[in-house]
Amino acid sequence: MMRPLPEDLGPRFSVRQAKSAGVSTGRLRRTDVDKPFHGVRVVSDATLPEELEMDRWGRALGPAERAHLARALAYATRMSEGEFFSHITAAVILGIPLPYLLVARSLLHVSVFRPRRLPRSLGVRGHEAKPSLVTATRDERSGLVIATPAAVWASLGRQLIDPYDLVAAGDAVVRTWRVESPLATLADLQTAVSAGRRVGVVAARLALPRVRTDSASRTESWLRLTLIDHGLREPERNHEVFAGGIYLGCVDLAYPDLKIAIEYEGAHHLLDPEQWARDIARYEGLRAAGWIVVQITKAELFDQPAVAVQRVRAAIRRRG
């Protein structure tokens, strides 16, 4: 019969911790223990801590983010003093939205300050950080040591190929809409991009003027930027609509003076029928109050943006 592991080890632990707890080398080779990194063991059926199943804005993590975060939690058991997560890994820990494939294909990013040696392990990319550009801090939700949010965003200028994604990441970092406090302020981002030379800083400097504090999602940011870059004026974000003293709802983007609401339709209507039913009722209420509701799909936004813009232009023409 297989001897159970000590409960106080938890689902993720280093080999050193296990041996200090009296676990034999043979026990650590059994099939109920995975070996994601040298010197690290994870119980095969380990799950994410419940408090990390959702991001700090209440959205469920996607499969790529869940897998990357699980790897970070595992690697943290063998991290030495002075190591901290940075770049894409720190962004995932903070909940900053990134493209799926970028997260799915990414190694763990771990940084150190001189004169410490770069971390070396299969599946890990080491970075040498400059104290003038980066400060490490402990993330309250996960307990992991990471670069500060402003420094993380500035470091993504090289990682995020599409400038829209860099703006969307910045929107998440400084978001004040329906949150207790932002991860960082616009002033913090400005300080980060002005601190000195770093890879990707030019892209971050170009993106910063387009970052907004009241954007609620990556797709909403993409839709806003798409409309602007096709010649339309910037719409208001998360506009709350009232008619006759009755609250009709909050719309993603809006031209209130024209009573035009622009809504992004993701996969929630397939995954959450109740939410979809509430959205239908909200749209009916808006239209009854004289609003034009333009619903933009994922395919239109990412594959045929000109079609999405044309539909918004048509609504504007209807208003004369």
Read off the DSSP letter of residue 195: S
CA 70 from centroid of its chain's CA atoms: 15
- pLDDT for position 266: 81
- pLDDT for position 25: 94
Does the pTM surpass 0.85? The reply is yes
| Rounded Cα distance, 106 and 19, in Å | 31
CB atoms within 10 A of CB 320: 5
Q: Which residue has the tokens 């002075």?
A: 82
Q: Which residue has the tokens 């970052």?
A: 211
| Structure token digits, residue 299 | 């395919």
Asked whether 205 and 84 are in contact (CB, 8 A), the reply is no
Pick the range with the lowest mean pLDDT from 110-119, 170-179, 206-215, 267-276.
267-276
Distances (CA, A) of 19 to 22, 78, 315: 5, 13, 68
Long-range contacts at 216-221 (CB < 8 A, ≥ 24 apart): 216/57, 216/175, 216/177, 216/178, 216/252, 217/97, 217/264, 218/97, 218/165, 218/168, 218/169, 218/171, 218/172, 219/264, 219/266, 219/298, 219/301, 220/252, 220/253, 220/264, 221/164, 221/167, 221/168, 221/171
Sheet holding 40-43, edge to edge: 12-14, 40-43, 33-34
Pick the range with the lowest mean pLDDT from 68-77, 176-185, 254-263, 264-273.
264-273
Interval 210-222 mean pLDDT: 97
Q: What is the C-alpha end-to-end distance of the chain, expressed in Å?
A: 79
| Rounded Cα distance, 254 and 285, in Å | 15
| Structure token digits, residue 8 | 């106080």
Interval 219-236 mean pLDDT: 98
Asked whether 253 and 262 are in contact (CB, 8 A), the reply is yes
Asked whether 169 and 184 are in contact (CB, 8 A), the reply is no
Residue 279: band (very low, low, confident or very high) from pLDDT cuts 50, 70, 90: confident
- pLDDT for position 218: 97
Q: Which residues are paired to 264 by β-bridges?
A: 296
Q: Which domains occur in the chain, in start order?
A: 7-43 (no CATH), 69-210 (no CATH), 218-318 (3.40.960.10)
Asked whether 59 and 121 are in contact (CB, 8 A), the reply is no
pLDDT digits (tens, 9 = 90+) for 158-194: 999 999 999 999 999 999 999 999 999 999 999 999 9
pLDDT digits (tens, 9 = 90+) for 192-205: 999 998 999 999 99
Q: Which is more confidently placed, 320 or 313?
A: 313
Nearest alpha-carbon partner for 300 in 238, 237, 251, 230: 230
pLDDT digits (tens, 9 = 90+) for 77-126: 999 999 999 999 999 999 999 999 999 999 999 999 989 999 989 999 99
Position 269 pLDDT exceeds 70: no
Interval 271-294 mean pLDDT: 90
- pLDDT for position 1: 63
Distances (CA, A) of 196 to 1, 200, 210: 59, 11, 21
